[in-house]
Amino acid sequence: MVVVDHEEFRHLPAGVALHRAGYAMACGDLAGTAAHARRALDLAQDDDDLSRGGATALLGLAAWATGDLEAAYQTYAEGMARVRRSGHISGVVGSANNLADIRVAQGRLHDAMRTYEQALQLATGPGGSVLRGTSDMYVGMSELYREWNDLDAATQALQRSRELGEHMGFPQHPSRWRVAMACTREATGDVDGALELLREGRERIVQQHRVRDVPWVGEQLMSVAIALHAGATVSFPEEQATLREDLREIGPHVIIAPPRFWEAMCSEYQVKIGDAGRVKAAAALLALGVGMRVAERRLKRQRVGPGLWVLGGLAHLLTFRALLDRLGLSRVRCAYTGGAALGPELFRFFRAIGLNLKQVYGQTESGGISVLHPDGDVRPETVGKPTADTAIKISETGEILISSPSVFLGYYKNPEATAQALDGGWLHTGDAGVVEDDGHLVVIDRMRDVLRLADGSRFSPALIENKLKFSPHVREAVVVGEDRPFVVALIQIDMGVVGNWAESSRVPFTTFKDLSGKPEVFALIGREVARVNDDLPSSARIHAFALFDKELDADDDELTRTNKVRRSTILGKYRDLIDGLYASVARESVP
């Protein structure tokens, strides 16, 4: 946001003030735009129609941004009339799209078309030459024709726009032209042509701006669709290594991140508490205990008594406020997690320190988020309730089925997969779940990942893995047991946390492989496994485990782009290690 000192520009000529007003508008500073534009009006001579018209038009744009459409149109039209009187016809032609867009926002489509037609009459110069901006007007006209279902006229307008663009030296068609043409082709049934246009546009954007795709549909929904609809500012970290510093600098109001992000943040807190002095550690644990009690009562929608309310306020004032600030979460109003299961322990931790963390659930095929926690009805073991116009039911096999207007139409050129995914008119998610009496959805695991032991006992690897990852010493875990006599686990240690522990415990090491091979580290993780086993039914308890001798990496196809473990890759790549666990269970069993 541009900060404006209104006194600073009293001595400046109208042209400079007008330039500053345009810059402020480009930066989204509406107050600055209005201040500079009014200053330009004060400084401009009465007969300086160009400066006075430009300043008036900018005041109209500022009114448009605030939602006052009628005032925006009247003010902008007045400004363009002044510009036209100045003889600067190209300025009028170049601004016709803004005037027409205001009319479209008012729902006055025929008035918008008349605006284009009047501007086109001015745009044709001597010898049939045209002014810059004419190509854009034909794009706007095509959108109106398409709205009226006159697809032939829409196509002709876009072809004329393309011809003018190439004639005037713009062979790389602007994004608006490309989207308009894609929508027109799609409306005529040329889906392949529409997709090809969008694909070419994407490639050009990647080449010109060196941007990367947003890999997760939840991120696309929040950071693109909803952000555009709400007019939100979207920020990204400069690089992975500076994520935490950038988060604190940005101070976001809304954040969505996968479980791995929240797991790392909780692990960092636990490590710092472990490294703190006895007094600080005791105070932090006491505050966390109070926060847990407050959060638990609120999650159950029970009354927080006055004594506990006072203690909770003190815990926030003395501990949690500073903690949230260090984590970069002090300004967060809503935080979301999705893409994979988040352990209830982790969820309760963040709710305890005062973060409004909620779960979301959905798939690319469902159009993004289909289920989420509503404010005031949040439960750690569920992912919430269906969004508006979304229905959820559970099939006879226990699979979650979704019906919604946002569900996709099908897989591109794959009718067999489409028929399977949309069998019976419902989207088959491939996830196992339960809908509780109050409408909350509980996601158990992927259908293919709810496994059975050799004796038929069922267990959820994700549940056990999340319990393991609640430990700050565990970075990743893969639980195995399908058609086997018992459950075993492959565990990746957290190099930073376990490395610090090793240094403080005077355990020498050099590399990740060396550290994970230390008997002391194996014993450390063994205690964490024993802790998890205490909370599991006997059939799901871990009987043996092994430590990875390397960090799992997406480049080795061991993780997805959203940092989820590729189970099939791990099971194949580390089969010998898994077989060795079952063969030597007596030696490596957990007490």
| Alpha-carbon span 517 to 549, nearest angstrom | 7
| Alpha-carbon span 218 to 337, nearest angstrom | 10
Residue with tokens 């491939």: 430
> What CATH number does the domain containing 526 carry?
3.30.300.30
pLDDT digits (tens, 9 = 90+) for 52-76: 888 888 888 888 888 888 888 898 8
Q: Which residues of the chain have pLDDT under 50?
A: 1-12, 127-128, 588-591
**Looking at the 3D structure of the chain, how many domains does it have?**
4
Residue 253 lies in a domain: yes
Same structural domain for residues 192 and 288?
Answer: no
Residue with tokens 């006075």: 52
Helix axes 344-352, 259-275, angle to 10 degrees: 60
Same structural domain for residues 265 and 392?
Answer: no
Residue 291 has what pLDDT?
Answer: 92
Cα–Cα–Cα angle for 477, 481, 485, rounded to 5 degrees: 140
Residue 126 has what pLDDT?
Answer: 52
Same structural domain for residues 97 and 63?
Answer: yes
Residue 228 lies in a domain: no
Same structural domain for residues 458 and 438?
Answer: no
Same structural domain for residues 398 and 443?
Answer: yes
Residue 127 has what pLDDT?
Answer: 46
What is the amino acid identity at position 332?
V
Long-range contacts of 394-400 (CB under 8 A, 24+ apart): 394/433, 394/434, 394/435, 395/428, 397/447, 398/432, 398/433, 398/434, 398/444, 398/447, 398/450, 399/428, 399/429, 399/430, 399/431, 399/432, 399/433, 399/447, 400/429, 400/431, 400/432, 400/433, 400/441, 400/443
- Residue 179's closest CA among 165, 158, 151? 158
| Alpha-carbon span 84 to 93, nearest angstrom | 9
Burial class (CB in 10 A: 0-12, 13-18, 19+), 363: buried
Query: Which DSSP string corresponds to 165-191?
Result: HHHTT--S--HHHHHHHHHHHHHTT-H
> What CATH number does the domain containing 369 carry?
2.30.38.10
pLDDT digits (tens, 9 = 90+) for 374-413: 888 898 888 999 999 999 999 988 899 999 999 999 998 8
Total number of residues shown for the chain: 591
| Alpha-carbon span 101 to 93, nearest angstrom | 14
Taking the complete model, does pTM exceed 0.85, yes or no?
no
Residue 202 lies in a domain: yes
| Alpha-carbon span 195 to 188, nearest angstrom | 13
Residue 308 lies in a domain: yes
Same structural domain for residues 421 and 527?
Answer: no
DSSP state of 3: -
Residue 430 makes CB contacts below 8 A (sequence gap 6+) with: 399, 446, 447, 448
Residue 331 has what pLDDT?
Answer: 92
Same structural domain for residues 101 and 208?
Answer: yes
Residue 74: how many other CB atoms lie within 10 Å: 14
Residue 497 lies in a domain: yes
Strand partners, 580: none
Q: Which of 306, 322, 352 is the last residue of a domain?
A: 352
Same structural domain for residues 487 and 572?
Answer: yes
Same structural domain for residues 309 and 416?
Answer: no
Residue 230 lies in a domain: no
C-beta of residue 303 within 8 angstroms of C-beta of residue 297: yes
Residue 6 has what pLDDT?
Answer: 38
Same structural domain for residues 256 and 393?
Answer: no
Q: 59 is in which domain, residue-wise?
A: 6-217
Helical H segments across 86-190, by residue range = 89-94, 96-106, 109-123, 134-147, 151-167, 175-187
Same structural domain for residues 496 and 558?
Answer: yes
Q: Which of 352, 375, 394 is the last residue of a domain?
A: 352
H or E element that contains 458 = strand 458-459
Same structural domain for residues 207 and 333?
Answer: no
Phi, psi of 389 (to 5 degrees): 65, 15
Cα–Cα–Cα angle for 333, 339, 342, rounded to 5 degrees: 70
Residue 225 lies in a domain: no
Q: Which of 397, 417, 448 is the last residue of a domain?
A: 448
| Alpha-carbon span 342 to 380, nearest angstrom | 9
C-beta of residue 542 within 8 angstroms of C-beta of residue 526: no
C-beta of residue 341 within 8 angstroms of C-beta of residue 445: yes
Residue 170 lies in a domain: yes
